[in-house]
């Protein structure tokens, strides 16, 4: 049962004008997974160490002709903010896939041009979708450690 389908269920809701957005979630999930697996974070969501860092994030001894920064004690607040921004940015292509597929579907079924379709089906939802995306990233960060502990 979907709100876009007049709270009707079944294939009729999927075949309606907003069904493309529902179907768009499938490829969107694939894109989302691919974006999270981009180089830059390990499987635990931590930024990968540079080649000259040890397991605690401290810089190892470099050859004498190179300089090194002093080691930091613990994660910096800016790293957390940077990680949040990067994860949110990585989620945007998945959201765009859903918007593109759903808008094309809507345009085909209704005969509307691109701009009216975007005004009706995409633009009003962008602020809320971005807030939901940020909330999802924050929830994922909060649950990552407890879920890892469980197994």
68 inside domain: no
| Structural domain count of the chain | 1
Query: Mean pLDDT over residues 74-82, rounded?
Result: 68
In a domain, residue 65? The reply is no
**116 in a domain, yes or no?**
yes
Residues 6+ apart with CB under 8 A from 46: none
Q: Please give the Cα distance from 28 to 101 (Å, whole number).
A: 9
Q: Establish if 23 belongs to a structural domain.
A: yes
Q: What is residue 34's predicted lDDT score, i.e. its pLDDT?
A: 82
- Model pLDDT for residues 43-59, shown as the tens digit of each residue: 555 555 444 444 554 44
The verdict on residue 126 lying in a domain is yes
Residue 144's pLDDT band (cuts 50, 70, 90):
confident
Predicted TM-score of the model (pTM): 0.65
Q: Is 43 helix (H, G, I), strand (E, B) or coil?
A: coil
Asked if the structure places residue 31 within a domain, the reply is yes
Categorize the per-residue pLDDT at 135 as very low, low, confident or very high, splitting at 50, 70 and 90.
very high
Res 69: pLDDT: 53
- Which residues lie closer than 8 Å to 100 by C-beta, 6 or more apart? 24
Residue 1 is assigned to a structural domain of this protein: no
Domain membership flag for residue 43: yes
Give the range of the structural domain holding residue 141, as residue numbers without chain letter. Answer: 11-60+75-150
């Amino acid at each position: 049962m979907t709100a876009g389908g007049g709270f009707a269920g079944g294939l009729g809701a999927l075949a309606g004008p907003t069904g493309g957005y529902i179907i768009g979630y499938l490829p969107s999930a694939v894109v989302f997974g691919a974006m999270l697996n981009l180089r830059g974070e390990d499987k635990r969501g931590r930024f990968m160490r540079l080649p000259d860092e040890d397991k605690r994030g401290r810089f190892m001894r470099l050859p004498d002709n190179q300089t090194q920064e002093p080691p930091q004690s613990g994660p910096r607040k800016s790293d957390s903010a940077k990680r949040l921004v990067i994860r949110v940015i990585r989620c945007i292509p998945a959201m765009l896939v859903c918007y593109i597929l759903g808008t094309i579907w809507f345009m085909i079924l209704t005969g509307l041009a691109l701009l009216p379709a975007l005004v009706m089906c995409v633009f009003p939802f962008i602020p809320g979708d971005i807030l939901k995306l940020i909330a999802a990233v924050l929830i994922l960060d909060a649950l990552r450690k407890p879920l890892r502990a469980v197994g």
